[in-house]
Amino acid sequence: MTILDLCAYLGLGAVGAASVNLLIGMLMALRYSPVRNWPHLRMNLFALHQWTAYCTVALALTHPLVLLLVKSPRFRVYDLVWPLNSPLQPKLNLAGAGALYLLVLVFVSSLLRTRLGRPLWRNLHYLVFPAAALLFLHSILTDPALKDGHPDLLDGGKIFVEAAAVVSLVAVGVRVWLRGR
């Protein structure tokens, strides 16, 4: 496995954890009961939501850090912090950084929830939706080989991300529809 493979796997793991986290969060918002409904088991959705958030942030932070070890093209620390002049696909890298900043903001605000108060925490928590849009845009269109900026959208990793994007989009649609009723 190359450094670039490791970087891609960390990014894919972050997308998987973020999607599961989003789904659990929406179930909690809809007061879903795993005892009354499927799988008829006692499950702590809150703890699951918290743990998937820890995994998302840990994987999303290590994914760009590993890029610093790639020999070519060379990424500098500045390219990760503000990727507007980073190699190959700077705008898409910027979308990834934007997603990361929003995820970290939502995560930290959740740790400080009692101090911030519910209204502010809730408004900050809605930033997960633009974060999801940016992270799917970034992870579907980036070239995992860092070659020509033209990714194969039917490669295994991309199909995983595309499926996660479709499931998340449908879940958001269902949540909006059920809340409306």
Give the residues lining the site for ligand HEM (CB under 6 A). 4, 7-8, 11-12, 14-15, 18, 60, 63-64, 67, 80, 83, 93, 96-97, 99-100, 135, 138-139, 142-144, 146, 157-158, 161
| Contact call for residues 82 and 64 (beta carbons, < 8 A) | no
What's the min distance (Å) between Cβ of 77 and ligand HEM? 10
Nearer to ligand HEM, 4 or 105 (CB): 4
Nearer to ligand HEM, 163 or 178 (CB): 163
Nearer to ligand HEM, 24 or 135 (CB): 135
Nearer to ligand HEM, 117 or 130 (CB): 130
What's the min distance (Å) between Cβ of 57 and ligand HEM? 9
What's the min distance (Å) between Cβ of 147 and ligand HEM? 10
The encoded tokens of residue 174 equal 């269902």
